[in-house]
Amino acid sequence: MDYINQNVSYWKQAVYDAPNPETFVFRSWSRVLKHDFNLTGENHETLLDFGCGPGGNTKYFHEKSFVVHGVDLSSIDIQRCKDRMPDAADRFKVISPEANRNDRWFGDIKFQLVTAFQSLYYYDDDDLEARLMSIYDMMAPGGVIFATMVASSCWWYNMSEPFKNGLRFVKFRRKTDEGRSGLTINDHYINFVENSESLRNKFHMFKPCHSEGYYDGVYRDDQGSEKHLVFIGQKEA
């Protein structure tokens, strides 16, 4: 895990504080999770948000009565989650960056929904496999995973150079990062995904339900695509 210290140093800065859910989250909930799997929150389904960050997305599900749990590397972000959801504060934890197949952060709880928004592509291929297998083991039979990975067509790829084991080292040079408060470490490693086939291969332990979807956003003339691929799969019952 010689790459992990750099990625941890980047994420622990916790410079991105988003109190509200991302657009793709609430659209995917209504169009897929609710429609296809009846994951409404009305039955108080158990949810694990891996890489929950400051909790904006987690709070969206919390307000729909999911029994939310969140893990992250950043103690700053975990505290933000606890502050935003005080009645669920004991269900947020700071975790080790090491991907241990035997991790069980919440004991014997089996999760009906796992979300991993823009958090898994900081692992190399071997550690990603270990992390996904640990998540698989924490899920209930028939449980659903909703995860995103960054596409190789994202403009960050053009700032990167090959590393090893699925990773590329990205040297970020974005005008929007200049002078950003709290951001002292910006370069880090990313596991890009080329297409939906390679996406399914990485998530091979799950039955693929939707793997052709994506979201993107271009807001400035001096930036390109930030395309992320969406994987929605299921643990076999």
Amino acid residing at 135: I
Among residues 37, 68, 65, 32, the alpha carbon closest in space to that of 50 is found at 68
**Residue 54: its pLDDT value, please?**
96
Sign of the Cα torsion 10, 16, 17, 20 reads negative
Collapsed DSSP state (helix, strand, coil) of residue 48: strand
Neighbours of 50 (CB within 10 A): 24
Q: pLDDT (tens digit, 0 to 9) for every residue of the chain, 237 residues total? A: 589 999 888 888 877 788 889 999 999 999 999 999 999 999 999 999 999 999 999 999 999 999 999 999 999 999 999 999 999 999 999 999 999 999 999 999 999 999 999 999 999 999 999 999 999 999 999 999 999 999 999 999 999 999 999 999 999 877 677 767 667 778 999 999 999 999 999 999 999 999 999 999 999 998 999 999 999 999 998
**Residue 174: its pLDDT value, please?**
74
Q: Does residue 193 contact residue 149 with C-beta atoms inside 8 Å? A: yes
Please report the DSSP string for 21-32 in residue order.
--HHHHHHIIII
- Distance of alpha carbon 135 from alpha carbon 8, whole angstroms: 20
Neighbours of 117 (CB within 10 A): 23
Q: Does residue 121 contact residue 190 with C-beta atoms inside 8 Å? A: yes
- Distance of alpha carbon 65 from alpha carbon 18, whole angstroms: 20
Q: What is the pTM of this model?
A: 0.94
Topology (CATH) of 4-234: Rossmann fold (3.40.50)
**Residue 13: its pLDDT value, please?**
82
What CA–CA distances, in Å, run from 132 to 33, 202, 206?
20, 9, 9
Give the tokens for residue 19.
Answer: 């109190």
Neighbours of 138 (CB within 10 A): 23
- CB neighbour list of residue 184: distance below 8 Å, 6 or more residues apart: 13
**Residue 39: its pLDDT value, please?**
98
**What is the Rg, in whole angstroms, of the alpha carbon atoms belonging to the chain?**
17
